[in-house]
Structure 1
Amino acid sequence: MIHRCIDPVALALTAPDGPFALIDTPHGPRFRDHPHTITGVLQTAQAHGSRRMVEAAGQTHSYDDVFARAGRIAHALREDYHVQPGDYVALLMTAGVDWMASFIAVIATGGAAVLVNTRCVAEEMAHAIAKVGARILIADPERTAIIRAEADAAGWRIVEQADLAAMAAGPDHALAWGLRGEADPAVVLFTSGTTGFPKAVRIDHGAMAHVVALAGMAGEMQDRRFTMESGRAVAPERGSACSATVIASPMFHFSGVMPFLRGAYFGAPLFVLPKWDVETAYDLMEREPLTRLAFVPTMLTDLMASPRAGPDNLGAIMVLSNGAASLDLRTVERLRVAMPDVMVANTYGQTESAAWISTICGADYLAHPDSVGYVLPSVELRIVRDADGQDAAPGEHGEICVRGPHMMNSYVGDPAATAETIRDGWLRTGDNGWVDADGRLYLADRRKNMIISGGENVYCAEVERVLGDHPAVAEVIAYGRPDDRLGERVEATVVLRTAADPEDLRTYARTRLAGYKVPKMIHLRDLPLPRTPTMKIDRGTFRRDLETNS
């Protein structure tokens, strides 16, 4: 069974007379009235001219300012660094004006921007750069120092911060846009690497442009649902297309680059938080007319834990949107109580799907907080049974498989992994889940995070959800350990917020889980669990530490 969009608001927005009308093209569904390449997206952004574009590091820059800077950088990349259309250029910088201007410049040359994890060590950075074959790196001082020896050994050229400053102070050069097609590479991002070394995900121009418009459509859908449920109209200048955008996530992840592209396309002002800080976020909400915030779960949890949590400190916020991982039920309830006039939304996606597969918001989400919502327009979804590879019935578990115009092209340099992930046009997400009778999608867990204990499947996420609901537990990770009798036994490690005995936690779990799912051992940990730059629990690092200390 193929699941498609059934949300009436989304269907109205994408109808022939809607602002996000979908049409069929040789490249698949596309938004009729929106650009079909990232070049087109950025050209639209450039036309916003004197509007305020970005506030970062205490300085404000207009669209004219940033695009003029990009024109100088693009000229230098062509003339001095010989960047040609189709070249991969690596960005190793934190969020800010230089990152934005450099990204625009790379796209203008016809190159593809490789967004390298700035928190990696030299070996990891070098592996990522070599994987895609980039020969030009644009790096800030900290990353330049980290990668210098590897770059010299490999013959890579580094455009340093001082070089960018010299370019910015140089003569003007009109931004000449290299023409690229929908099937040409635009961006490379890397998987989070929670279960192994990150793969290089290639997203083409057509896919990236499509998801920018798709994100805009989702924002408009939330605006309309907000009005339907609250009775309060969203003024055009306050709506999703114009709302000031906060960039609080790293730019090497979709939760960073997508707010940048979507905000720039619609002409919104962008506010860069170089480092997540809950007090800075509240200060910004009070100072600026922000109407929506898109954060990852840890950030929303921090907002709720702050003494400033409550409607009096939210400014103009109407919508809080969560992504990257599902919120725990306690946080959803605290959001509902502390912010009764704010609509909460949840989205699901992964790097390979350009971060967008499904969404749910408002009263429907509060009634089904463990759901990741309904399939978005232009996306098709199947649940495939493990046993026979056939489509699962409603309510039946299986692997989530999706297809649509914004899916990845490939894993760069890894044809075997590409063939394993994309089969017959369907992207195999590696996530287990199910769809209920009303069309809502639910996640069980990553397939790689499934424990097979005594022949029974145990999803780590289910164990973590139950233990995470205990008031004494701050963080939890469940995992399998080798067992002579069971094959694998379930264990868990928890970080406590208040004192608790592991056996009491097991007793609590036993009231909500089948016996075979209850951890045989629960270990207490003093330090916070390791996390990826996108604030997901870093299972790979945790497992390596576990094996080292076993």
Structure 2
Amino acid sequence: MIYRCIDPVALALTAPGEMFETIAGPRGEMFRNIPHSLSGIYRAGQNHGARRMLQTEQQSYSYDTIFALAGRLARVFADEFGVTRGDYVALAMTSGVEWMACFMAVHAVGAAAVMVNTRCAPEEMVHAISQVKARLVIADADRAAALQAEPASADWRMIVSGAPSLVRDARDRDLADLLANGPDAPFDPVERAPDDAAIVLFTSGTTGRPKAVRLDDGAMAHVVGIAGLVGAIQDRRFAMEFGREIPVERGSAKAATIIAAPVFHFSGIMPFLRGLYYGAPLFVFTRWNAEVALDLMEREPLTRLGFVPTMLSDMLASPKVGPHNLGTLMVLSNGAAALDLKLVERMRDVVPTVMVSNTYGQTESAAWISSICGSDYIEHPESVGYVLPTVEVRIVRDDGSDAVIGEHAEICMRGIGMMRCYIGDDQATAETITNGWLRTGDNGWVDADGRLYLADRRKNMVISGGENIYCAEVERVLGEHPMVAEVVAYGRPDERLGERIAATVVPRHAQLIDIDELRGYARSRLAGYKVPRDIAVRVTPLPRTPTMKIDRGTFLREMKDQA
């Protein structure tokens, strides 16, 4: 069975004549009124002129200013480094005005931006850059120093940011010098085809090296439409539930946006492209800090905030929190992590009329697959919502047949946003894209009303005595205990059962945890075979990914090393 959009609000917004009207395209349903290439997205951004594009702690930058910097760099990339259509340019740098100008310039000359994880070890960064055969590497001071210590970097041409002393010879250039003294040139992006490579992101996993996900130009332009549509759905739902319209200047299209996620993640790139297209001001964090965020929101009243639960918890725990900094918020957008309704209640103590939403997607799908918001989400907090327009979903059993309503199986999707391939890994590509469908690697199910639920990553499922145990379910129950601050569940080898479920918990406020009491709590809420026999207590916080979700891979490696 193929699931498509049934959300009446989304269907109304995508009807003929509407801003997000959908039409049939060569690779699937697409938006009529959104540019179908990044060239068009950037040209739309140029129309915002003197409007504020970026605000840092030190300075404000207009659209005109950043486009001028990007035009200057594009000329240098083409003339001095020979970068052209089809090339890959690696960006190993944190977010900010220099990153924005470089990212835009890469696309202006027709190349693809390779987003190197700046928190990786040098050897991992070298592998990523070598994997795509990057013609040029642009690195900030910390990354440049680390990369130059690796033998492979001797063959690269490099632009260095923030450290002129690391410019090795005539092969390299200093980024600040190029921005200040490079040739003046208009930002004039080459025409890009929908199947041109646009961005490369690297997936993470518990084993093996990250895979290089190639996302094409048409997919990335489509992302802007999906992001705009989801925002419009939220605006419409807010008006329906609270009886008042969000003013246009504060609505989803024009609202100022905090980008707290790193730019080597899709959740960092997507709000940048959306903001650029619609002309929204952007506030960029190189590292999440709740105190800084609250200070910012006091100075710059925001109407919406994308978050993971940890971010919200951090802000609510701050002595600075109050209506004076959070009071203008209207929409909170969760990023598919499980949300404790108690957190929502605490937020509504500060902002009674805030609306909460959730979305689901992954790097390989380029943006979102489904979304849910408002009272529907509060009533179904475990759901990731309804399939979005332009996306199709199947729930597929291991034998390839379709699961029935309510049955757990793998979520598969197709749509214009799908990745093209894993670069240099044909086998992994073939295993992930079968008969035009992207296998997400997530287990999920659909309820009788068409809502999609995310059960777990398939690799995070423990099979104990022939019974499937989803780690997310165990984590949700243990995490609801008042003495538990954080929890991670996992499988352990068992001679009789094959595997058994285990868990590690972090106590809240340094409290002592009665393991027997916690196990009894779980037993009252879970089937007996799902209750962890082994529960360990950890006094330090669990490791987290750059997007602030629990880093299961790092945790399991730590467990293995300790064993």
- Fold conserved (TM > 0.5)? yes
Q: 2:179 aligns with which of 168, 171, 175?
A: 168
The aligned residue for residue 504 of structure 1 is 517
Give the TM-score normalised by structure 2. Answer: 0.95
Aligned partners of 2:264, 2:440: CA distance in 1, in Å? Answer: 20
Paired letter, 1:297 = P
User: CA 1:510–1:338 in structure 2 vs 1: closer, same or farther (change >3 Å)?
Assistant: farther
Aligned partners of 1:404, 1:421: CA distance in 2, in Å? Answer: 14
- 1:125 Cα deviation from its structure 2 partner: 0.5
- 1:337 Cα deviation from its structure 2 partner: 4.2
Give 1:98-497 correspondences, 5 Å limit.
98-150=98-150, 153=153, 155-161=155-161, 162=164, 163-170=174-181, 171-194=183-206, 196-386=208-398, 388-497=399-508
Task: Give the conservation status (yes or no) of the 8 Å contact 1:330–1:469.
Answer: no
- 1:157 Cα deviation from its structure 2 partner: 1.3
Deviations 1:284-338 (A, max 9, x none): 2121131111122221221232334454431421101011523234323433444
Aligned partners of 2:446, 2:336: CA distance in 1, in Å? Answer: 19
Give the TM-score normalised by structure 1. Answer: 0.97
Paired letter, 1:405 = I
Give 1:23-42 correspondences, 5 Å limit.
23-42=23-42
Paired letter, 2:218 = G
Q: 1:534 aligns with which of 544, 547, 551?
A: 547
User: CA 1:154–1:515 in structure 2 vs 1: closer, same or farther (change >3 Å)?
Assistant: farther
- 1:28 Cα deviation from its structure 2 partner: 2.1
The aligned residue for residue 68 of structure 1 is 68
Aligned partners of 2:39, 2:132: CA distance in 1, in Å? Answer: 21
- 1:174 Cα deviation from its structure 2 partner: 1.5
User: CA 1:536–1:128 in structure 2 vs 1: closer, same or farther (change >3 Å)?
Assistant: same
3-state SS, counterpart of residue 458 of structure 1: strand
Deviations 1:351-405 (A, max 9, x none): 111130111001111111111100000110111123x321111111111111111
Paired letter, 2:113 = A
- 1:59 Cα deviation from its structure 2 partner: 0.6
3-state SS, counterpart of residue 417 of structure 1: helix
Paired letter, 2:141 = P
Aligned partners of 1:153, 1:62: CA distance in 2, in Å? Answer: 35
- 1:211 Cα deviation from its structure 2 partner: 1.1
Deviations 1:474-512 (A, max 9, x none): 111111111110100111111111221222211111111
Q: How many residues align?
A: 549
The aligned residue for residue 84 of structure 1 is 84
Alignment identity in percent? 65
Task: Give the conservation status (yes or no) of the 8 Å contact 2:336–2:384.
Answer: no
User: CA 1:228–1:406 in structure 2 vs 1: closer, same or farther (change >3 Å)?
Assistant: same
RMSD: 1.4
Deviations 1:425-454 (A, max 9, x none): 111111111110011111111000000001
User: CA 1:52–1:151 in structure 2 vs 1: closer, same or farther (change >3 Å)?
Assistant: farther
Aligned partners of 2:456, 2:208: CA distance in 1, in Å? Answer: 16
- 1:546 Cα deviation from its structure 2 partner: 1.2
Unmatched tracts of structure 1, length 5 or more:
none
Aligned partners of 2:104, 2:49: CA distance in 1, in Å? Answer: 15
Unmatched tracts of structure 2, length 5 or more:
165-173
3-state SS, counterpart of residue 208 of structure 1: helix
The aligned residue for residue 168 of structure 2 is none
